[in-house]
A and B are shown apart, each in its own frame.
Chain A
Amino acid sequence: MKERKLRLKVAKKKSYKRFTRSTAANIIFVSLLLLAGLFMVLPLIYSIVTSFKPLDELLAFPPKFFVTRPTMHNYTVLPSLLDNLQVPFSRYAFNSLFISVAITVGHILIAGMAAFTLSNCKHKFISTVFWGVQVALLFNGYTLGIPQYIIFSKLGIIDTYWVYILPALQSTTGVFLMKQYMDVSVPKALMEAALLDGAGYYRIFWNLVMPLVKPAWLTLALFAFRDAWAIQPSGTIFSESLKTLPVAMNQIAASGIARSGSVMAATVLLMIPPIAVYLVSQSNVMETMSSAGMKD
């Protein structure tokens, strides 16, 4: 490990030398990046700016990009708007947070365990299962909506938290990412050594494999949290007290165009948690993605 780091360091130093360019090339390079980067952040900046606009500027025509008289009104009015909701706002927030955390933790565990088996067993059945995983990546929810609903009602989990959590736990993307990463970064010799030293499979999984594949599950946490945070029930939840933040936001939005500033303010606030998770896992994302591209 240490040697590898050292080698990386040397390689880095070398490649710094490689990219010395003329000034003109540098200018072209930087402006190209800035232009492309602008495309990426413009909508984000716009929604932040808009959330500070007073009402007359929001409705001004032709619309202006920047705010001339910024105000906090859109944010300060949020609590009173939220009082009009059918159940307390804290309840929606709790639901979203609880569901997101439960899905993220559960998904990492289940996907990690499945990937542990897939990565270590060289059985024909196992490779068939993995093939199934890859095909499943092609499908999306729409096709399965109705049959899934019927299964939910047979299991009796309609109108409970389970209806959010259970179907999200076995997402196939996670198993795919974890398996690819384990193949590359967990040396078989290390596992054999642990087995010889008398460690059980649980111990190997918890104390050896999971720490080694930390970048993979941090990446997975980011994706799982992002998806879970945006969950909206579609016909599977009836009690208002079990609904999520996006639903509360739709209610604010439903109160008309005069509230569009507050909707933007709420949107900006809703973006914060996924971005926070991203900042935590940021450096690991790149590493995991690189192993997904390698062939086994």
Chain B
Amino acid sequence: MKKSLKDFSQKKRMYGRMFILPWVIGFIIFFLIPVVQSLIFVFSKVSIGDTNFDTEFVGLANIRYIFFESAKYVDNLYDALISFSYSIPLVVALSLIVGVLLNQKFRGRIVFRSIFFLPVIIATGVVMTYIQGDATAEAMRSGSAEMSTNGIDVTAILQGMHLSKEITNFLVDFVNRIFDLFWDCGVQIVLFISGLQSIPEQLYEVCRVEGANKWEEFWYVTFPMLSGTTILVIVFTAIEVFTDASNTVMRQAYTAMQQQIYDQSAAMLWVYFALVGAILGLVILFLQKAVFSKWAT
């Protein structure tokens, strides 16, 4: 009896290993080994041959270089972090609003949901490159162009209002990126809708019995119940924005890579990832401890 049980659990373990093996092998070969190698690049001087490369350990020289000698890295890092500080909250807020709207019951909501999910499907690769590459489409995407707003030049208006240059730049940048921000929302909207649908109906019933209005209902029921989803959405948005090829740090690192300066490029990316990971971790910790736990009781 005992023996057969042992056989059984051994068999189970063997099957478990067999099922996960193909993925683990792929993961190690195409992900883990490259990751470790690029980490080695950070601390060494790399010279690439045809099929091989030589690394020579140089300690922190690459990191010192990107921070103190490279012309633009610190500026790029700063720019990237600033643009994250507003684009992530904006994307999260936009998708929350649209998610709440789409969660209402109305005719044709399936069509609307599909429309909002559309960018997720088509906004990749070549298709996007050509939509963005077309001059007219580009002008249309950036709302400040003459044709789409009938000659209203946003920059001129803002300058006329005697706002400071920083604020003007920020607003112009924001208007220019409205399309991009909207197009970044697809998956987040779906996440919010599914989060909304998992809120128990009874809570709303209680609200109505107690005489709460819609506004109170949102802040005391919907928003707190969505805290888990919100954190997931923040993480998802952050990953999407941080790894987007168009942000300044990624572009600089990619250019360096094309010039075959692999060690510095690796250093740039690793410093960036470490920084971003640390900030993201702190933000989530703060949200969990300070904001959302308030409602938990």
Binding site for B on A (CB under 8 A): 11-12, 14-16, 18-19, 29-30, 32-33, 36-37, 39-44, 46-47, 50, 62-65, 110-111, 113-114, 116-118, 120-121, 129, 132, 136-140, 142-148, 150-151, 153-155, 166-167, 169-170, 172, 175, 201, 205, 222, 226-227, 229-232, 245-246, 249-250, 253, 260, 263-264, 267, 270-271, 274-275, 278, 282, 285-287, 289-290, 292-295
Contact = CB atoms under 8 A, between A and B. Distances in A.
A292 B232 contact: yes
A267 B127 contact: yes
Contact of A46 (B19, B137, B253): B137
B30 A166 contact: yes
A147 B33 contact: yes
A18 B201 CA distance: 10
Nearest to B269: A143
Which of A249, A267, A274 has the most chain B CB within a 10 Å cutoff?
A267
B26 A121 contact: no
A290 B233 CA distance: 12
Contact of A44 (B34, B37, B118, B273): B118
Contact of B140 (A12, A42, A118): A42
B137 A50 contact: yes
Interface string B174-191: 000011001100010011
Contacts of A64: 147
A274 B120 CA distance: 10
Given A110-B23, A142-B257, A137 B239 contact: yes
B179 A39 contact: yes
A205 B114 CA distance: 32
A170 B26 contact: yes
Given A43-B141, A267-B126, A63 B16 contact: no
Given A136-B31, A170-B30, A229-B125, A175 B23 contact: yes
B66 to A, nearest CB: 15
Contact of B116 (A11, A32, A40): A40
Contact of A117 (B20, B121, B130, B250): B20
Contact of A147 (B23, B24, B37, B137): B37
Interface in B233-257: 239, 242-243, 245, 250, 253-254, 257
Nearest to B200: A11
Given A39-B182, A40-B115, A293 B229 contact: yes
Given A40-B119, A114-B19, A278-B121, A148 B30 contact: yes
Given A33-B112, A37-B115, A43-B179, A205 B19 contact: yes
Interface in B194-212: 194-195, 197-198, 201, 204
A120 B19 CA distance: 11
A149 B148 CA distance: 44
Given A150-B51, A253-B130, A110 B194 contact: no
B112 A47 contact: no
Given A146-B48, A147-B38, A170-B23, A47 B131 contact: yes
A232 B127 CA distance: 12
A232 B126 contact: yes
A14 to B, nearest CB: 7
B134 A260 contact: yes
Given A42-B140, A147-B33, A290-B194, A114 B24 contact: yes
Which of A140, A143, A222 has the most chain B CB within a 10 Å cutoff?
A143
B238 to A, nearest CB: 9
Contacts of A46: 131, 136-137, 140
Interface in B129-168: 130-131, 134-137, 139-141, 146-148
Shortest beta-carbon contacts, A-B, top 9: A230-B125, A290-B194, A170-B26, A147-B34, A114-B23, A147-B37, A63-B136, A144-B34, A117-B20
A102 to B, nearest CB: 14
